[in-house]
Amino acid sequence: MAQFRLQGSKVLAVDLAGDSVKAKNGSMVAYDGEMTFKKRTGGGDGLRGVVTRRLTGEHMAVMEVKGHGTCYFADRAHEVNLVRLTGETLYVEASNLLCTDGALRTGTTFTGLRGSARGNGLFTTTVEGTGQAAVLSEGTAVVLRVTPQMPLQVDPGAYIAHTGDLRQHFQSGVNFRTLIGEGSGEAFQIRFEGEGLVYVQPSERETVGGEV
Protein backbone atom coordinates (compact mmCIF):
# COMPACT_ATOMS: atom_id res chain seq x y z
CA MET A 1 0.00 0.00 0.00
CA ALA A 2 1.24 3.51 -0.80
CA GLN A 3 2.92 5.24 2.14
CA PHE A 4 1.83 8.83 2.78
CA ARG A 5 4.06 11.16 4.80
CA LEU A 6 4.37 14.92 5.21
CA GLN A 7 7.50 16.75 4.12
CA GLY A 8 7.01 19.95 6.07
CA SER A 9 3.37 20.96 6.38
CA LYS A 10 2.68 21.80 2.76
CA VAL A 11 4.18 18.96 0.76
CA LEU A 12 2.89 15.40 0.66
CA ALA A 13 5.43 12.67 -0.08
CA VAL A 14 4.05 9.34 -1.26
CA ASP A 15 6.28 6.27 -1.46
CA LEU A 16 5.14 3.94 -4.20
CA ALA A 17 6.29 0.40 -4.86
CA GLY A 18 4.40 -0.47 -8.00
CA ASP A 19 1.05 0.61 -6.57
CA SER A 20 -0.99 3.67 -7.46
CA VAL A 21 -2.63 6.75 -5.97
CA LYS A 22 -5.20 9.19 -7.30
CA ALA A 23 -4.17 12.84 -7.08
CA LYS A 24 -5.50 16.23 -8.04
CA ASN A 25 -4.58 17.00 -11.62
CA GLY A 26 -1.32 18.91 -11.95
CA SER A 27 -0.44 18.73 -8.24
CA MET A 28 2.85 16.83 -8.68
CA VAL A 29 5.82 19.06 -7.81
CA ALA A 30 8.66 16.53 -7.97
CA TYR A 31 9.43 12.81 -8.09
CA ASP A 32 12.29 10.38 -8.17
CA GLY A 33 12.20 6.90 -9.62
CA GLU A 34 9.82 5.85 -12.37
CA MET A 35 6.33 7.37 -12.47
CA THR A 36 3.51 7.47 -14.96
CA PHE A 37 0.72 10.06 -14.87
CA LYS A 38 -2.58 9.21 -16.42
CA LYS A 39 -5.63 11.42 -16.51
CA ARG A 40 -8.72 9.76 -15.10
CA THR A 41 -12.16 10.70 -16.21
CA GLY A 42 -13.06 11.36 -12.61
CA GLY A 43 -13.36 9.85 -9.23
CA GLY A 44 -14.65 6.43 -10.15
CA ASP A 45 -18.14 4.93 -10.41
CA GLY A 46 -17.60 4.39 -14.13
CA LEU A 47 -19.82 6.11 -16.63
CA ARG A 48 -22.52 6.83 -14.07
CA GLY A 49 -19.94 8.67 -11.98
CA VAL A 50 -18.86 10.76 -14.93
CA VAL A 51 -22.41 11.79 -15.69
CA THR A 52 -23.12 12.55 -12.03
CA ARG A 53 -20.05 14.71 -11.73
CA ARG A 54 -20.88 16.59 -14.90
CA LEU A 55 -24.38 17.30 -13.64
CA THR A 56 -23.40 18.14 -10.09
CA GLY A 57 -20.43 20.34 -10.83
CA GLU A 58 -18.52 18.31 -8.24
CA HIS A 59 -16.11 17.15 -10.85
CA MET A 60 -12.60 16.37 -9.85
CA ALA A 61 -9.82 16.49 -12.35
CA VAL A 62 -7.96 13.43 -11.15
CA MET A 63 -4.84 11.71 -12.36
CA GLU A 64 -3.61 8.25 -11.56
CA VAL A 65 0.02 8.13 -10.48
CA LYS A 66 1.70 4.77 -10.64
CA GLY A 67 5.30 3.69 -10.24
CA HIS A 68 8.32 2.97 -8.10
CA GLY A 69 9.88 5.75 -6.02
CA THR A 70 8.72 8.85 -4.18
CA CYS A 71 6.27 11.35 -5.62
CA TYR A 72 5.77 14.81 -4.05
CA PHE A 73 2.44 16.65 -4.26
CA ALA A 74 1.49 20.21 -3.28
CA ASP A 75 -1.16 22.73 -4.26
CA ARG A 76 -0.94 26.53 -4.02
CA ALA A 77 1.04 26.31 -0.77
CA HIS A 78 -1.98 25.02 1.14
CA GLU A 79 -1.46 22.90 4.26
CA VAL A 80 -1.76 19.14 3.86
CA ASN A 81 -3.70 17.02 6.39
CA LEU A 82 -3.42 13.23 6.46
CA VAL A 83 -6.57 11.22 7.10
CA ARG A 84 -6.42 7.46 7.69
CA LEU A 85 -9.61 5.64 6.78
CA THR A 86 -10.47 2.20 8.06
CA GLY A 87 -13.70 1.37 6.35
CA GLU A 88 -15.45 4.66 7.07
CA THR A 89 -16.40 7.41 4.66
CA LEU A 90 -14.71 10.79 4.31
CA TYR A 91 -16.83 13.65 2.99
CA VAL A 92 -14.74 16.37 1.40
CA GLU A 93 -15.06 19.09 -1.22
CA ALA A 94 -13.40 18.02 -4.47
CA SER A 95 -11.22 21.14 -4.49
CA ASN A 96 -9.78 20.21 -1.07
CA LEU A 97 -8.86 16.64 -1.96
CA LEU A 98 -5.16 16.38 -2.85
CA CYS A 99 -4.49 12.66 -3.00
CA THR A 100 -6.08 9.31 -2.12
CA ASP A 101 -4.74 5.78 -1.93
CA GLY A 102 -5.52 3.81 -5.07
CA ALA A 103 -7.49 1.32 -2.99
CA LEU A 104 -10.03 3.94 -1.87
CA ARG A 105 -13.28 4.41 -3.75
CA THR A 106 -14.41 7.93 -4.56
CA GLY A 107 -17.92 9.05 -5.38
CA THR A 108 -20.33 11.95 -5.21
CA THR A 109 -23.13 12.49 -2.75
CA PHE A 110 -25.98 14.94 -2.24
CA THR A 111 -25.49 17.27 0.70
CA GLY A 112 -28.67 19.23 0.60
CA LEU A 113 -29.00 22.95 0.85
CA ARG A 114 -25.61 23.40 2.53
CA GLY A 115 -23.79 23.52 -0.77
CA SER A 116 -25.56 26.54 -2.10
CA ALA A 117 -24.37 28.72 0.77
CA ARG A 118 -20.82 27.52 0.27
CA GLY A 119 -20.98 28.34 -3.38
CA ASN A 120 -19.80 24.85 -4.16
CA GLY A 121 -23.06 23.37 -5.33
CA LEU A 122 -25.30 20.82 -3.70
CA PHE A 123 -22.94 17.87 -3.89
CA THR A 124 -19.79 16.74 -2.19
CA THR A 125 -17.16 14.09 -2.82
CA THR A 126 -16.97 10.91 -0.77
CA VAL A 127 -13.90 8.76 -0.19
CA GLU A 128 -14.50 5.28 1.14
CA GLY A 129 -12.53 2.18 2.10
CA THR A 130 -9.25 1.49 3.85
CA GLY A 131 -6.18 3.58 3.21
CA GLN A 132 -4.85 7.11 3.47
CA ALA A 133 -6.09 10.37 2.00
CA ALA A 134 -4.59 13.87 1.99
CA VAL A 135 -6.87 16.87 2.42
CA LEU A 136 -5.88 20.49 1.73
CA SER A 137 -6.63 23.40 4.03
CA GLU A 138 -5.81 27.08 4.11
CA GLY A 139 -3.81 27.29 7.33
CA THR A 140 -3.49 24.44 9.83
CA ALA A 141 -6.78 22.61 10.17
CA VAL A 142 -8.25 21.56 13.51
CA VAL A 143 -10.16 18.32 14.01
CA LEU A 144 -13.27 18.75 16.15
CA ARG A 145 -15.15 15.83 17.69
CA VAL A 146 -18.92 15.71 17.52
CA THR A 147 -20.83 13.56 20.02
CA PRO A 148 -24.58 13.09 20.48
CA GLN A 149 -24.35 15.39 23.54
CA MET A 150 -22.25 17.97 21.76
CA PRO A 151 -23.37 19.07 18.30
CA LEU A 152 -21.14 21.44 16.36
CA GLN A 153 -21.80 24.53 14.28
CA VAL A 154 -19.30 25.43 11.56
CA ASP A 155 -18.98 28.40 9.24
CA PRO A 156 -19.62 27.08 5.72
CA GLY A 157 -16.46 28.76 4.44
CA ALA A 158 -14.26 27.19 7.11
CA TYR A 159 -15.61 23.63 6.77
CA ILE A 160 -13.36 21.33 4.77
CA ALA A 161 -14.23 17.70 5.49
CA HIS A 162 -15.83 15.26 7.93
CA THR A 163 -15.91 11.57 8.78
CA GLY A 164 -18.23 9.41 10.80
CA ASP A 165 -21.95 9.07 11.25
CA LEU A 166 -23.02 12.69 11.09
CA ARG A 167 -26.21 14.40 10.05
CA GLN A 168 -25.72 17.89 8.80
CA HIS A 169 -28.16 20.63 8.28
CA PHE A 170 -28.01 24.16 7.39
CA GLN A 171 -29.07 26.78 9.86
CA SER A 172 -29.55 30.44 9.35
CA GLY A 173 -29.57 33.32 11.74
CA VAL A 174 -30.95 35.72 9.20
CA ASN A 175 -33.11 38.26 10.96
CA PHE A 176 -34.39 41.77 10.71
CA ARG A 177 -30.90 43.20 11.31
CA THR A 178 -29.41 41.19 8.44
CA LEU A 179 -32.02 42.54 6.09
CA ILE A 180 -31.20 46.15 6.86
CA GLY A 181 -27.49 45.45 6.38
CA GLU A 182 -26.59 45.27 10.06
CA GLY A 183 -25.76 41.56 10.08
CA SER A 184 -22.94 40.11 12.14
CA GLY A 185 -21.54 38.33 9.09
CA GLU A 186 -22.42 34.99 10.65
CA ALA A 187 -25.79 34.47 9.06
CA PHE A 188 -25.31 30.83 8.06
CA GLN A 189 -23.83 27.79 9.78
CA ILE A 190 -23.71 24.07 9.15
CA ARG A 191 -24.88 22.10 12.18
CA PHE A 192 -23.43 18.62 12.67
CA GLU A 193 -25.18 16.10 14.88
CA GLY A 194 -24.24 12.51 15.69
CA GLU A 195 -20.83 10.91 16.17
CA GLY A 196 -17.80 11.87 14.14
CA LEU A 197 -14.97 14.26 13.33
CA VAL A 198 -15.13 17.58 11.48
CA TYR A 199 -12.07 19.25 9.90
CA VAL A 200 -12.15 23.04 10.12
CA GLN A 201 -9.66 25.47 8.56
CA PRO A 202 -8.69 28.83 10.11
CA SER A 203 -9.77 30.74 7.04
CA GLU A 204 -13.07 31.55 5.38
CA ARG A 205 -13.46 31.01 1.71
CA GLU A 206 -15.75 33.18 -0.37
CA THR A 207 -19.27 31.94 0.12
CA VAL A 208 -22.60 33.40 -0.85
CA GLY A 209 -23.62 33.32 2.79
CA GLY A 210 -20.49 35.16 3.88
CA GLU A 211 -21.73 38.33 2.25
CA VAL A 212 -24.85 38.50 4.37
Work out whether 17 is an interface residue with another protein (CB under 8 A). no
Q: Three-state DSSP class for 79?
A: strand
User: Shortest distance, CB of residue 114 to another protein, whole angstroms?
Assistant: 29
The stretch near another protein (CB under 8 A) out of 35-43, 90-98, 101-109, 119-127 is 35-43
Nearest to 22, CA basis, from 91, 89, 87, 107? 107
What's the CA gap between 76 and 96, in Å, rounded? 11
Backbone angles phi, psi at 52, to 5 degrees: -60, -45
What's the CA gap between 189 and 157, in Å, rounded? 9
> Which residue in the set 14, 21, 31, 124 belongs to the binding site for another protein (CB under 8 A)?
31
> Among residues 33 and 185, whose Cβ is nearest to another protein?
33
The stretch near another protein (CB under 8 A) out of 29-37, 111-119, 144-152, 183-191 is 29-37
Binding-site size for another protein (CB under 8 A) equals 28
What's the CA gap between 27 and 73, in Å, rounded? 5
Work out whether 35 is an interface residue with another protein (CB under 8 A). yes
For another protein, the binding residues in 91-150 under the rule CB under 8 A are none
What's the CA gap between 52 and 15, in Å, rounded? 32
Which spans of this chain sit near another protein (rule: CB under 8 A)?
A: 7-11, 25-33, 35-39, 61, 63-64, 72, 74-78
